[in-house]
Amino acid sequence: MDIYSVLTSDKKYFSDRNGECAKIQLKSKMLCHKFNLTSPDEGEKRREIMKELFGTYKPEVCIEPSFHCDYGFNIHFAGFALINYNCAILDTSPVYIGKNAFIAPNVCISCAGHALNAEQRRSGVNTSAPIRIGDDVWIGANATILGGVSIGSGSVIGAGSVVTKDIPSGVVAVGSPCRVKRKITESDKIDPRALV
C-alpha cells in the first residue's frame, strides 16, 4: 500500500516511513508558512491558501495565524469553523471537524504518536489514528485532543483538558484525562435580558 493510502485511511496504523512523510509534508509546511505571514486585511489570500491546503474546505472557515499542520489534505471541514490563534493539527490520519466548531487558542489536535518502546521510537516507529469532532463543539483554550478520539455534537471541552477517550454528545467534559462532568441543559442558556 502506498504512503498516501496509509495516511488517508480511517484506520489506526503504525509506520516507520519517516523519509517519505517528510517529502509529502513540504507542501503543507510551505502553505502554512505563507498563511502565517499574511496580514489581517488579506482575507482573500488566506482563503485561497486554505482552499489549496485542506482536504475539504468551506469558505466560511476562519483561522487565525499562527496555524500549523502536518499534511493539510487530511483535514476536512463540514461547514463554519472558527480556529483561534496558535492551533496545531497533526493530521497523520484524517481529522473531521463538524459545522459550527469553535476551537480556542493553543489547541493541539494530534492524530500522531510514537512507540512506547524506546528502541522502536529511536528507529522511527510512529502511530496514528483519526479524530472526529462533531457539529457545534467548543474546545477550550490549551486543550489537547489525541488520536482515535471522537467528540460528540454539541459538547464543550474545558480549557486545558487532555482528551484521551471518546466524549458523548451534549456534555461538558474537563480535565486531564478529560471526563464528562455533566449534561448541557436548557438551564445553560443565557437570558438575553441579562446581557448588557
Q: Cell for 37? A: 505571514
Question: Does the CA dihedral 182-183-184-186 come out positive or negative?
Answer: negative
114 tagged catalytic: yes
Q: Which residue has the cell 483538558?
A: 161
Residue appearing with cell numbers 489581517: 40
Amino acid code (one letter) for 12: K
Query: Can you name the residues that pair with 156 across neighbouring β-strands?
Result: 138, 172
d(C-alpha 164, C-alpha 151), whole Å:
10
- Tracing cell 489525541 back to the chain, one arrives at 146
Catalytic member of 33, 68, 76, 114: 114
* Residues marked as catalytic: 114
